[in-house]
Amino acid sequence: MLLILRVLCSGPLHGYAIAQRIHTLSRAALEVEEGSLYPALQKLLLKGWVTASWTVSESGRRVRCYRLTRQGREQLDVEVRDFERVTGAIRQVLRTA
């Protein structure tokens, strides 16, 4: 969820592009099961963090593009902060223990 919100931060994308972006940005380290992207996207729609609209992609396909809303941006900030707090805490434990 955090990752989806983050990749949408730089601009609207369709589902396949989101999966590709996460894949390449993580230097292929994160293998998301691509199908599970869609239930997650529905959840984001329900929460009102993204909106969707049908457009035609560069390759001429009809695709649905997801765009981050203002609430989505706020949620991203919250989730990034949460993530950093948790990872910071884990790092702290790893360093001192």
Partner 1 sequence: MKALRAVAELGRRLLYWIDRDRRERELLEEMDAHRAQMADPERFGSTLRLGDAAREVWGWTWLEQLVQDLRVARRALARDPVFLATTTATLALAIGANTAIFSVVHAVLLEPLPFRDAGSLVAVWEHAPQLDQPKTPVAPASYAEWRVRGGVFAELGALDWRSFDLTGDGEPRRVQGLAVTPELFPMLGAEPALGRSFLPGEAEPGASRVALLADGLWRTRFGARRDVLGRSILLDGEGYIVVGVMPPRFQLFESYIGLWVPLALSPEEWRSAEPSLRVVARLRDGIVLEEARGRMGAIAAAVDRDDPGDATARDALLVPLDEELAGDAPRALLFLMAAVGTVLLAAGTNVGCLLLVRGLARRRELAIRAALGAGRGRVVRQLLAEGLLLCAPAAIAGVALARLGLPFVSRLLPPQLELSARVEIDAAVLAFTAVVSVLTALAVGLAPALRSTRGDPPNALSYHETPRQGRVQAALVAAEIALALLLAVQAALLVRSLGNLTGQYAGLRPERLLTARTALSPHRYWNAAARAAFYEVVLERVESLPGVRSAGYGTSVPLEWKGGGHAVVLEGRPPEPGRAFYACHRQVSAGYLETLGVPLIRGRQLERGDAEGAPLVAIVNETLARSFWPEREALGRRFALAEGEPWRTVVGVVADVRQMGAAEPVQPEMYLPYRQVAGHAFLRPRDLVVRAEVEPALLAAGLRGAVRDVDPAQPVALIRTMDEILGEASAAPRLQGAILTAFAGLATLLAALGTHGVIAHWVARSTREIGVRMALGARPAGILAAVLRRGARVTALGVAIGLLGCLAVAPMVRHLLFGVLATDPVTYAGVAAALAGVALASGLFPALRAARIAPVRALRHD
91 interacts with partner 1 by CB under 8 A: no
Cα 11 from Cα 27, distance rounded (Å): 20
DSSP annotation of 11 reads: S
Total interface residues for partner 1 by CB under 8 A: 22
Q: Are the C-beta atoms of residues 66 and 53 closer than 8 Å to each other? A: no
Position among 4, 5, 8, 63 found at the interface with partner 1 (CB under 8 A): 63
39 interacts with partner 1 by CB under 8 A: yes
83 interacts with partner 1 by CB under 8 A: no
Instruction: Supply 4's token pair.
Output: 């989806």
Instruction: Supply 71's token pair.
Output: 């609430």
Position among 30, 55, 61, 82 found at the interface with partner 1 (CB under 8 A): 61
Cα 61 from Cα 67, distance rounded (Å): 18
- Interface residues with partner 1 (CB under 8 A) are 15-16, 19, 33-39, 41-43, 45-48, 54, 61-64
